[in-house]
Structure 1
């Protein structure tokens, strides 16, 4: 089979559609029947389903799909900041900008050559962005769906400024779970974390697994590159692997905070858990012409 034939067959796994507001979305599929859906609004993955059609990401039933609101769910991209700092809106502006499909991406050493179902998106600083954050950048995002159903997001951010700039970053991933009281997170043992519910005070994780009985909003620092969410009731483990992202953010708003959020149902906190690959505590600094890469690999495996 010729190389061009292979390319053609690969692109069959990529389809561009529109959502109800006319915003372009890209649907990725593999031969096994897994799928992922990415909106060009925010470069946001909104859906990731396994071969049985089960949704692995959470999106609120009350999510607002009309710009300029960011969608509550999926994987919002938080750049150039995570959280609230300075004059920028919470979690930065990348998640509520229109991205474009990058028809001419530079070569990607980090993508396995057998991954055919992927899309490259591009966000460039606009005049409007430069007013609120005066740094020119190019942000390339590749979203890949592998043959085994793994979902990979690779962000490449380049400084096209004449002076250095710094940013923080997170893949703010909303996972769909059976029940927040029934899941546990492994891979955070003995780590220091900043607790956003206690003025960012620093604590050390004492448990051998993280379980949930109240609101949690923490940044685990210098975490290992492998964290797992064990969902006993659904008999599956959601695996999170990361590169270039030192921290892990863990968030669940619980009952009281959920009631204050217009785009989250009062009881929906039970079905969601955010575990983010992130760079929060120590911002990333890029010199002129320098590029940073942050990679997230998500997998799901049956567990007992």
Structure 2
């Protein structure tokens, strides 16, 4: 099934069947191309004209209801990792990263100008999970052009204050993770989820794993990709941390990560890993802006 949703002199946006029960949008525009899955409300790809892809997507990713998609920009919400805070304040072990990335989102708006493609998706309801039963409305605005902007707005429709953790779990495509560095992280304290040691500081030689760190920083980051001679600038807003992840050779045990895929990406995630409050009938937003700088 293929349906053209919007077409003008600048490009075209199509709705297509990615897999059984999984629909997606793709666009071709004079500034580039990209795709977004309605399942998970997840950016899958973005490639400005004349550039290498910005986001990485596994060749063996699952595209089925109940499974997370490996790559692109998954949404971790309303909890990051495998813990959720119950109404009584206690923490409970749960499956990783919340329900937003395994929910069916709806198209709220589409527009296309000479410089950008803008896609707005929404997720509305309550009791998505027994661990987080509050009524909520999520709105995600994606703006693709020479740069990329992603804004996730979370509205608490319940009568009580709720808490969330979350992340924009970006898989950035690089020439080789062993030839990639992020200099600004060298000056930030981090918690090492692999060793269990917190408040560490060390020089990051490259982005090959196994790496799983939470950096206490909201500074602008620049991913320096030496092989492809480009820099990916990432600026977050409303986020207090950066999460850095790459499985290294452990990726060989992940069925939804194709062979040697760990060499092709680094996850740098704008995140709030500490619990954040959303007052009743109030909204908060987190966002990221991504720009490319290519060395000529």
> Structure 2 length normalisation: TM-score?
0.88
**Candidates 252, 272, 280, aligned match of 2:265:** 272
**Candidates 54, 57, 77, aligned match of 1:56:** 54
2:88 alignment counterpart: none
Which structure dedicates a bigger proportion of its chain to strand? 2
1:123 alignment counterpart: 123
1:67 aligns with 2:61: no
* CA distance in structure 1 between the aligned counterparts of 2:283 and 2:175, rounded to whole angstroms: 39
SS at match of 1:204: coil
1:172 alignment counterpart: 169
Cα RMSD after superposing both structures: 2.4
How far residue 28 of structure 1 moved from its aligned partner, in angstroms, is 3.6
1:202 aligns with 2:201: no
* CA distance in structure 1 between the aligned counterparts of 2:57 and 2:208, rounded to whole angstroms: 21
How far residue 159 of structure 1 moved from its aligned partner, in angstroms, is 0.7
1:100 alignment counterpart: 106
* CA distance in structure 2 between the aligned counterparts of 1:141 and 1:165, rounded to whole angstroms: 19
* CA distance in structure 2 between the aligned counterparts of 1:46 and 1:198, rounded to whole angstroms: 31
Map residues 21-100 of structure 1 onto 2, 5 A cutoff.
21=20, 23-32=22-31, 34-52=32-50, 54-85=52-83, 86-100=92-106
1:260 alignment counterpart: 253
SS at match of 2:198: strand
> Structure 1 length normalisation: TM-score?
0.85
Q: Please, which runs of 5 or more residues in structure 2 have no aligned partner?
A: 1-5, 84-91
SS at match of 2:227: coil
* CA distance in structure 1 between the aligned counterparts of 2:258 and 2:120, rounded to whole angstroms: 33
Which structure dedicates a bigger proportion of its chain to helix? 1
* CA distance in structure 2 between the aligned counterparts of 1:301 and 1:193, rounded to whole angstroms: 27
How far residue 54 of structure 1 moved from its aligned partner, in angstroms, is 2.9
SS at match of 1:55: coil
How far residue 155 of structure 1 moved from its aligned partner, in angstroms, is 0.5
Which one is further off, 294-303 or 114-123? 114-123
Q: Is the 8 A contact 1:159 1:287 kept in 2?
A: yes
* CA distance in structure 2 between the aligned counterparts of 1:264 and 1:212, rounded to whole angstroms: 17
How far residue 126 of structure 1 moved from its aligned partner, in angstroms, is 4.0
How far residue 11 of structure 1 moved from its aligned partner, in angstroms, is 8.3
How far residue 260 of structure 1 moved from its aligned partner, in angstroms, is 2.0
How far residue 66 of structure 1 moved from its aligned partner, in angstroms, is 1.4
Q: Please, which runs of 5 or more residues in structure 1 have no aligned partner?
A: 1-6, 106-112
**Candidates 274, 280, 294, aligned match of 1:288:** 280
1:151 aligns with 2:148: yes
* CA distance in structure 2 between the aligned counterparts of 1:95 and 1:247, rounded to whole angstroms: 20
SS at match of 2:19: coil
Q: Is the 8 A contact 1:188 1:210 kept in 2?
A: no
Q: Is the 8 A contact 1:115 1:144 kept in 2?
A: no
How far residue 115 of structure 1 moved from its aligned partner, in angstroms, is 5.9
* CA distance in structure 2 between the aligned counterparts of 1:277 and 1:162, rounded to whole angstroms: 28
How far residue 15 of structure 1 moved from its aligned partner, in angstroms, is 3.0
Q: Is the 8 A contact 1:29 1:117 kept in 2?
A: no
Which one is further off, 169-178 or 22-31? 22-31
Deviations 1:79-112 (A, max 9, x none): 0111111243201110011001114x9xxxxxxx
* CA distance in structure 1 between the aligned counterparts of 2:51 and 2:288, rounded to whole angstroms: 22
